[in-house]
Structure 1
Amino acid sequence: MIPDAVALSELETDALTEIVNIGVSRAASNLRKMVGAQVHLSVPAIEVVTQRRAARLIGEREIAELVAVRQDFDGPFCGRALLIFPESNSLELVRAVTGDALSAQEVLDIEGEALAETGNVILNSCLATMANMLQRSLSMTIPEVLRGDGAKLFDVWEGSPSDGLVLFLYIDFAIRERDIRGYIAMLMDLPSLNALKLLLDEFIVRVVGTDG
């Protein structure tokens, strides 16, 4: 059961969906420039769920090991952003980013660095757009590459209960002409969710007005 105090209203959900859509569109544009192929991103699903549920949402779709680029963000709201794909896709993404110019061994050698750089570009595009539209700024940590299943990837803040509530933004992406698919997820805890709700309400007043 989601407490009413942290549940997003329909108007807040619509506003956040619009903001995230713009962010992922910019991320897709930047990724398209990197790989030279069309990038498709789905309309995001936005839910307040438990961390266990967030892990299951990925686990229901992907049974293989996962690779993720993780960046924590801090500011008026804070949390964790993840760019996630099946492990089998990670080398193909590196090949796409490097224009298929490297040998198999060279791809392996630079995999971590290339994934971190790609994740940094995509996640920064999303978060910077969100922050700008909410008229705030965020700082982000250096990207880190993780491997494991959904339970490991979503075992977030140390000391935080694994059944704690988080805001889960779930976005599918795929690269045309490449066997690459993945997900973007952003996790925020309850204090950050409350802060985000206030910023969304300010955004709605700016865009719609008090009578909207």
Structure 2
Amino acid sequence: MSDATLTLDDLERDALTELVNIGVSRAAASLRKMVNKQVILSVPSVEIVTRKSAASLIGQRENEGLIAVHQQFEGPFSGRALLIFPESNGLSLVRAIVGDEMGEADLADMEEEALAETGNVILNGCLGSMANMLQHTLKMSLPGVRRGNSTILFDVLDNTSDQSFVLFLYINFSVQDRQIRGYIAMLMDLPSLEKLKKLIADFIDRVMA
């Protein structure tokens, strides 16, 4: 395993950031239609890190419980996508979607379903758009919701964590003036990461041709 596999040169990073931004913009447009409210998503950074590093990065930033919507994806590159929020931000997102007039008990009942649907829209929009730009398609599983700290969400205690990596995106949400922060993480093994890098290289060649 070479360090080169874990790193992106400037051109690769710019191309990947552009792909991600297009994907997130389309996801925001889909979410906007769903909630009928102004939605802005921005991605300030894109990194490839180990699972342990990703867990550590979130653990350092967040001092409360986390909630994640997760989906498996399969195609030319495969893995598991996570949309992660601090729990309080997740509740703020649900309130932005369903409205402030809903009572706490009803809100709690709807929270998991609303988060799963929101995560489905964002992850499908982001990954589907990226795959489309790379001239491929991805098959996405149904969304699930998981709670816990970053170590649990990234399964860093299992035996495979040293062989898999995370395409890690820090994102800012704005839903009708509510500021919500979160993370998109795509967990991939080394072969999938290498395939993604090859597809990015092909994309750069097409753009620059």
Q: Specify the alignment match of 1:54 in structure 2.
A: 54
SS of corresponding position for 1:182: strand
Q: How does 1:68-107 map to 2 (within 5 A)?
A: 68-107=68-107
Paired with 1:7 and 1:39, the residues of 2 have a C-alpha distance of 29
Q: TM-score, normalised by structure 2?
A: 0.90
Q: Which runs of 4+ in 1 moved over 6 A?
A: none
Q: How many Å apart are 1:109 and its aligned residue?
A: 0.9
Q: Specify the alignment match of 1:11 in structure 2.
A: 11
Q: TM-score, normalised by structure 1?
A: 0.89
Q: CA separation of 1:75/1:156 partners in 2, compared to 1, >3 Å: closer, same or farther?
A: farther
1:44 alignment partner AA: S
Structure with higher helix content: 2
Gapped regions of structure 1 (runs ≥ 5): none
Gapped regions of structure 2 (runs ≥ 5): none
SS of corresponding position for 2:102: coil
Q: Specify the alignment match of 1:164 in structure 2.
A: 163
Per-residue CA deviations over 1:142-171 (Å, capped at 9, x if unaligned) read: 1010000110111179651x2334142212
Does residue 36 (structure 1) correspond to residue 37 (structure 2)? The answer is yes
Q: Specify the alignment match of 2:63 in structure 1.
A: 63
Identical aligned residues as a percent = 54
Q: CA separation of 1:174/1:188 partners in 2, compared to 1, >3 Å: closer, same or farther?
A: same
Q: CA separation of 1:125/1:98 partners in 2, compared to 1, >3 Å: closer, same or farther?
A: same
The 8 Å contact of residues 151 and 157 in structure 2, kept in 1 or not, is answered as: no
Q: CA separation of 1:6/1:150 partners in 2, compared to 1, >3 Å: closer, same or farther?
A: closer
Q: Specify the alignment match of 1:139 in structure 2.
A: 139
Per-residue CA deviations over 1:11-68 (Å, capped at 9, x if unaligned) read: 2222111111110111222233426134241323222x22110101111110100001
The count of residues paired between Structure 1 and Structure 2 equals: 207
Q: How many Å apart are 1:5 and its aligned residue?
A: 4.3
The 8 Å contact of residues 83 and 119 in structure 1, kept in 2 or not, is answered as: yes
**Which deviates more from structure 2 when the two are superposed, residues 187-196 or residues 93-102?**
93-102
Q: CA separation of 1:5/1:114 partners in 2, compared to 1, >3 Å: closer, same or farther?
A: closer
SS of corresponding position for 1:163: helix
Q: Specify the alignment match of 2:114 in structure 1.
A: 114
Paired with 1:6 and 1:182, the residues of 2 have a C-alpha distance of 23
The 8 Å contact of residues 45 and 169 in structure 1, kept in 2 or not, is answered as: yes
CA RMSD of aligned residues (A): 2.1
